[in-house]
Amino acid sequence: MTASDYAQAARFLVYDTAPLVDHAVQTVDWLDDGHFWYRDHDASGDHYLQMDVATGKATPLFDQEQMAAALAKASGKPADAAKLSITAYSRRADGRVEVSVRSKHYLCEVTGGTLGCVERAEAPRVGMEPVLLSPDRKIEAFVRDWNLWVRDVASGKETQLTTDGVKDYGYATQNAGWTHGDGLIARWSPDSRRIATFRQDQRQVGEMYTVASRVGHPKLDAWKYPLPGDEHVFMIEPVVVDVASRRLVRLQLEPQQRLSTLCDTLACDAGERYQWSDVKWAPDSRTLALVSTSRDRQHEWFRVANADTGAVRTVFEFTAKPYYESGHGRVNWQYLAAHDQAIWPSEETDWANLYLYDLKTGKRLHAITAGEGNVTEVLHVDRQARTLWFVGVGRAPGVNPYYRQFWKAGIDGGKPVLLTPEDADHSISMSPDGRYFVDSWSTPTTPPVTVLRAASDGRVLATVAKADISRLQAAGWVPPEPFTVTARDGKTQLYGMMFKPTHFDPAKKYPVIDYVYPGPQTGSVRGRSFSPARGDHQAMAELGFIVIALDGMGTPWRSASFHHTWYGNMGDNTLPDQVAGIKELARRHPWIDLDRVGIWGHSGGGNATADAMFRYPDFFKVGWAESGNHDNRNYENDWGEKYQGLLVTNEDGSTNYDNQANQLIAKNLKGHLMLVHGEIDDNVPLGETMLVAEALLKANKDFDMLIVPNQHHGYADATPYTTRRRWDYFVRHLAGDTPPKEFALKPWPWD
């Protein structure tokens, strides 16, 4: 292969394809009840606009030339007004605005007619800690030196609310093992007078370490990181703090597991990085509901607390096996304090539906939603009108079960109403008051149409944008090909996407590369909305491969039984479905070469890749395993204990985790395997890959390994290098060709 072959492939990466899509507005952010902002794009560059929902008219969000000058001065780097790359924008109560440019954060204000910005460091300095803004936008809460503080937005005056926080026993700390830092987890009361949070006890929790290479002594980082089976794990003591009086009320509870009903931290809801998801205040700010979770994730306690006294009442308990989840992407339970009721999600019918509970008796009243398909995210509840709005999947007959649609349902009964009838995947952003929503609908093969709709009946009020991909198509882009195959059980339909070279010749035989992510929290396909580049799938296809991504059994969005297929056997990794699916595709398409099948993935996909090479050594010939959690006994406890179960050690020393430990079957390797890991990965520790490497050494197996110096779980500015090396690996070992020497990919667009 030549450098021009690689250059042709690189043309299909996101930095070359995304700029060729015009007016693809797929997300918006609300400024207030009546205005939202968004980034539009065309051949002349990016345009930052705001729309008034009353008129449906769009106007500039700010002066882009002025903003570019201010950001350039603050960053010390040139800024192009047509390519600002702003990812977040919000207005503060004091008139200043907060702006994020990828990973950089700035506070901007107009002084003397000139806009000026200062950087707010992500690695906090004193006065620059991550904050959680109060509902009235006048106060921001933050953590400093293990204590909870607040800052008046207008004056900048700081007040320390707690004083007894000490190292490893502090307030509102973000640390969940794999995620750790100086952020906070809390929830403001609606009246902005109180904060619900916790004191976290991690004093006896075991530590994780990374060692960064440098000239001279290496840098050692250590932080708390519990593992499955550990006696001591994170425990929290919920509290309510009154901001004005600094009075702290400890809720009358024993220390609780630091676990959520959904994710592996406490902030689970998209766009709410520091919100405690399993706490909900009453509108009058006098009481709050909170849900606690058992260590095995099978038992939940719904409780109501008095914010003045700290008295806590357990209203009802709920048990689910193999584990409980309160949503898909959002914690969906709701507290209806005025009626002494709660909305509770459950998968007991094999589908995620909503149920109404009486908080006086703790008894269920009735189902709010029923039937097949899942309620994934409850986006708004109108407590006066007794109506809620939710995103759902698989609820409309004949529609792809992964397509998101938006529904309205009555809390007191009645058939839910579909508000987005288009046969497509719908991305929804609802106004804070629940009167409007922006709907961007698309499919993997059709670009997005974005409209403003009325929440009452879904009628279109204004068109925000209609994407145009003519420039993309003129550059040679082709869409992926959605496909279905049958799962391991011989009856369940699985959904995937295929990427073929633009120079595809059906008379040829093509090797196959299977991109895998096994779940359980997501799958290989990663969404069904339009995207001009899905990773580097099309780019790799250009090198002479058929690339596929297939969501096997054990991944979410389908029925609960589908999702829980391999609970307790994480070594399954959807691999029986990957093998069955590829074989079925080969029966349909004679141009698929079953003698040349490769596989690759990152994190859970890295785990699955090595597993595939060991479990199916005669089927998968080449594997590229990045940053894999190869044995979940060495990964955070709340992950393994949720999906594999609590660790049980038998008398003979074997455990219930042996079936997922890649090092125990590494001796089966026959093909070419590359193990890749970041040196200072603080999510999946480097030792996970070293366990597999050690087992391969002991088995006298040839393998390859690439340790990426001074990089975390993602490879940041080393991404172009590792990507090119991956291309080389498959070209050489799967296609049997010779790659060009040291081809240089451009820096990724976020660098």
Write out pLDDT tens, residues 652-674: 999 999 999 999 999 999 999 99
- Which range, of 221-225, 267-271, 347-351, averages the lowest pLDDT? 267-271
Q: What is the pLDDT confidence band of residue 751, given thresholds at 50, 70 and 90? A: very low
pTM, two decimal places: 0.95
| Predicted confidence (pLDDT) per residue in 502-545, tens digit | 999 999 999 999 999 999 999 999 999 999 999 999 999 999 99
**What is the per-residue pLDDT for 260?**
97
From 359, 364, 365, select the one nearest 340 (Cα to Cα).
359
Percent of the chain predicted with pLDDT > 70: 99
Query: Dihedrals φ, ψ of 415, to 5°?
Result: -80, 130
**What is the per-residue pLDDT for 157?**
94
Which amino acid, residue 425? D
**What is the per-residue pLDDT for 126?**
62
**What is the per-residue pLDDT for 104?**
86
| Predicted confidence (pLDDT) per residue in 443-469, tens digit | 999 999 999 999 999 999 999 999 999
Domains of the chain, each with CATH number or no CATH: 3-9+472-733 (3.40.50.1820), 21-27+30-119 (no CATH)
Q: How far is Cα 147 from Cα 171, in angstroms, rounded to an integer?
A: 5
From 4, 54, 46, 1, select the one nearest 25 (Cα to Cα).
46
**What is the per-residue pLDDT for 413?**
87
Q: What is the pLDDT confidence band of residue 219, given thresholds at 50, 70 and 90? A: very high
Percent of the chain predicted with pLDDT > 90: 92
> In residues, how long is the chain?
751
| Predicted confidence (pLDDT) per residue in 298-323, tens digit | 999 999 999 999 999 999 999 999 99
User: Looking at the predicted structure, is the pLDDT value of residue 279 above 50?
Assistant: yes
| Predicted confidence (pLDDT) per residue in 375-400, tens digit | 999 999 999 999 999 999 999 999 99
**What is the per-residue pLDDT for 130?**
87
Instruction: Give the H/E segment covering residue 581.
Output: helix 575-588
**What is the per-residue pLDDT for 121?**
60
**What is the per-residue pLDDT for 14?**
94
Q: Mention every residue, 6+ apart, whose C-beta is less than 8 A from residue 315.
A: 302, 303, 304, 342, 357, 359, 362
**What is the per-residue pLDDT for 749?**
67
Position with higher pLDDT, 737 vs 154 = 737
User: Looking at the predicted structure, is the pLDDT value of residue 244 above 60?
Assistant: yes
Between CA 92 and CA 97, with CA 94 as vertex, the angle to 5 degrees is 40
Please answer whether residues 631 and 684 qualify as being in contact, where contact means their C-beta atoms are separated by less than 8 angstroms. no
Exposed e or buried b per residue across 299-313, where buried means at least 16 C-beta atoms within 10 angstroms of its C-beta: bbbbbbbbbeebebe
Q: Taking all residues of the chain, what is their mean pLDDT, rounded to a whole number?
A: 96
Q: What is the pLDDT confidence band of residue 119, given thresholds at 50, 70 and 90? A: confident
What mean pLDDT do residues 682-700 have?
98
Q: How far is Cα 625 from Cα 434, in angstroms, rounded to an integer?
A: 44
In a 3-state reduction of DSSP, which class is residue 167? Answer: coil
Q: What is the pLDDT confidence band of residue 123, given thresholds at 50, 70 and 90? A: very low
Q: How far is Cα 502 from Cα 205, in angstroms, rounded to an integer?
A: 53
**What is the per-residue pLDDT for 125?**
57
Q: What is the pLDDT confidence band of residue 127, given thresholds at 50, 70 and 90? A: low
